[in-house]
Amino acid sequence: MLNHPVKLLFVFISCSLLIACHKAPVLDNKLALKIISAQQTPSGYTISIVTNNPNARGDNARGWNCNDKQAWVDAGVVSCKKAGRSGVYLKFTTEGKALLMGKPWGDDILRNARVLAVAQSIQDIVSIEQVDKSHAIVNYSLIYDHYTPFANSQLKNIIRLNVAQTKQASIVLKDNEWLVEQ
């Protein structure tokens, strides 16, 4: 039967070996894609829209009204509501809120929102340039992959889908974990 100090020595040596043998994961294309994708928030081409029009109805109607935004209503990203005697406003649905970038701003008279019109996603990793053991520069390609209901015909003519754009990210090793450097 082993005595207590020998047992403690065995546990200490075992733990030391485990710690000494643990290596950081190797930064390959698959891991780099996972790290960059996890860091990426919904992105793409955004537009600003006015979400209310206090003068849409009545004798002096001007600006847009619910009929002008019917395509967005039909797509299920907004609902158009009447407000008071002459106003209309857009209310974002759950699907529409997913396309909202930041929070709407403005006051009671004029409210605006920034929405995603053309969505962008990471296509693949182009290259990994290892600067040193704990730092790498990752070149990756992004593509505009689909139009959202907020994209109009002018945007669809200007922004083509599936055209690769190269971007760069700096990835560093901190506490045996690869992270995108901010």
Backbone angles phi, psi at 38, to 5 degrees: -65, -30
Q: How many domains does the chain have?
A: 1
In a domain, 128, yes or no: yes
Inter-residue contact 90 to 80 (CB < 8 Å): yes
Inter-residue contact 67 to 120 (CB < 8 Å): no
Domain of residue 78 covers 24-180
In a domain, 15, yes or no: no
Window from 7-16, 81-90, 141-150, 161-170 with minimum mean pLDDT:
7-16
Average pLDDT of the segment spanning 131-152: 92
Average pLDDT of the segment spanning 111-132: 91
In a domain, 41, yes or no: yes
pTM (2 d.p.): 0.72
pLDDT tens digits along 18-71: 565 556 677 888 888 888 888 777 788 999 998 888 887 777 788 888 899 999
Q: Which residue has the higher pLDDT, 175 or 79?
A: 79
In a domain, 1, yes or no: no
In a domain, 78, yes or no: yes
Inter-residue contact 36 to 169 (CB < 8 Å): yes
In a domain, 72, yes or no: yes
In a domain, 86, yes or no: yes
Question: Which of 162-167's residues contact partners 24+ apart within 8 Å by CB, and which partners?
Answer: 164/123, 165/141, 166/126, 166/139, 166/140, 166/141, 166/142, 167/139, 167/140, 167/141, 167/142
In a domain, 4, yes or no: no
